[in-house]
A = this chain, B = another copy of it.
Amino acid sequence: MANVWVRILIGGLTMLVAIGYKNYRDLKAPGKRPDLDNNAYWGPALKEPYRENKAILPYDISVKPEVIEDLKSQLSRPSKAQAPLEGVGFEYGFNANELAKVVKYWRDTYLAKWTEREQYLKKLDHYQTEIQGLKIHFIHAKPTQVKGQKPKKVLPLLLMHGWPGTVREFYDFIPLLTTPSDKSDYVFEVIAPSLPGYGWSQGSSKTGFGVAQVAVVMRNLMLRVGFNKFLVQGGDWGSIIGSNVASLFPENVLGYHSNMCGNNSPLGQIKLVLASFFPSWFVDSQHASFYKGLGHMFSTILEEMGYAHIQASKPDTIGNALIDNPAGLAAYILEKFSTWTNPSFRSLPDGGLTKRFTYDQLLDNVMIYYVTNSITTSVRLYSESMVASQFALAVDSLPIKAKSGCTRFAHEIVHTSDSVLANKFPNLVHSTHHSDGGHFPAFELPQQLYDDFVSFVQKADLS
């Protein structure tokens, strides 16, 4: 199979020509909203017509003690891992020596204080409601006001994580959003759902549940909670689903802020290529270091996108390999918290995992995948979103009418410049570059993300 790279290259050429030809004429035309069923049913096959249970109920995230006991015993198996190659850190993926340390900590330290971790995860309020046949979990965090001061105006916010993240990423970020600060005229009422198929939210039983369809569910969730107009914030899939919400439902979105803005419209992709060849046409020289060109993008695809390739094509194979496999799950998930936080961490024997996170934080996140058994349903989002039928909806070609803010943290996987974003974000009122941070800023640098977000909201002038 050694020639697979070359074949990827060859395939790339052809598809690019095909895309170019197909889209040449209507590149700049604004897209048409696709016809999506806002009430589509995604649950298991029913014998009777579906009747949605519209109740919103508090949700208990407690884990049964026998699950913890079983996990302990699984983590107590003697390691059979092959030693890493000599002198290798994380360049070949998750280092087996570091994995042994993580497993030991998980078993002996983390699980020993599981009650405390569980209480920590419960400190925010968890709810569940049924949307389109799926039980959707979300955190609902209400803002506080300072006694004796003029109350800040409250804005609702839909806050979405990505893969392999969970709502756990937001535990330091949410309190900032709900607490009045000098930096903002607003406080936020936060709805942070587990994406469908992630964590405590049920996955679809039917095929065809990609980002646009998930966006419909997320918007319906906000309506259910009672918010007809709301802000959106997200990274990773949260960014893309949020972009779909804003594109499909302009009437509901007050503003869109993302730490991973992208433009996958045909024009956006062409500009991305041109920007790589002629960066000075597209990028302010001040931020040139953020935009590393096509060579960097290509090496990133080869070195860092294998997980996306297999998840988009064989999600159930990788899911079946990770289900009921805690050590493997930790390796698979935490590799991303190393490399995506800073690519230079690849050369470290421990992947720099604890440079920006604690094992407790990281294992909380892994635990949510493990106890909810959701890795298979989570990776199916790739196969349902990176597929012709989803691209055919052309949501990427719908401009986002809401005021938008795009922020970039230095070590994000790939950055997109304002000029490349332009046709997708005609109302880009806020664009920033941070010299620090990676793919998970809410988790890694919550204060910095908060400052950026409220700065966007001030500029957007939503009063």
Contacts and interface: CB of A to CB of B under 8 A. Distances in A.
Contacts of A414: 7
A324 B80 contact: yes
Contacts of A328: 320-323, 325, 328
B321 A83 contact: no
Interface in A73-92: 77, 79-88, 92
A212 to B, nearest CB: 10
Interface string A367-388: 0000001001100101101100
B309 A6 contact: no
A211 interface: yes
Contacts of A321: 321-322, 325, 328-329, 331-332
Contacts of A1: 163, 236-237, 240, 305, 308, 382, 386
A191 B26 CA distance: 61
Contacts of A87: 207
Contacts of A5: 312, 386
A327 interface: yes
Interface string A55-96: 000000000000000000000010111111111100011111
Given A301-B11, A320-B328, A82 B2 contact: no
**A contact patch SS:** helix
Nearest to A324: B80
A7 B297 contact: yes
A407 to B, nearest CB: 18
Given A13-B13, A262-B3, A308-B1, A86 B8 contact: no
A427 to B, nearest CB: 21
Interface size class, chain A: 35 or more
Given A207-B85, A262-B3, A383-B92, A313 B308 contact: no
25 contacts: A1-B240, A1-B382, A2-B386, A4-B301, A4-B309, A4-B312, A8-B11, A13-B273, A80-B323, A80-B324, A82-B377, A84-B316, A85-B205, A88-B207, A93-B318, A94-B316, A96-B319, A96-B320, A306-B306, A306-B309, A306-B310, A307-B314, A317-B335, A320-B327, A325-B325
Interface of A: 1-16, 19, 44-45, 77, 79-88, 92-96, 99, 163, 203-207, 211, 236-237, 240, 262, 264, 269, 272-273, 276, 294-295, 297-298, 301-325, 327-329, 331-332, 335, 373, 376-377, 380, 382-383, 385-386, 390, 414
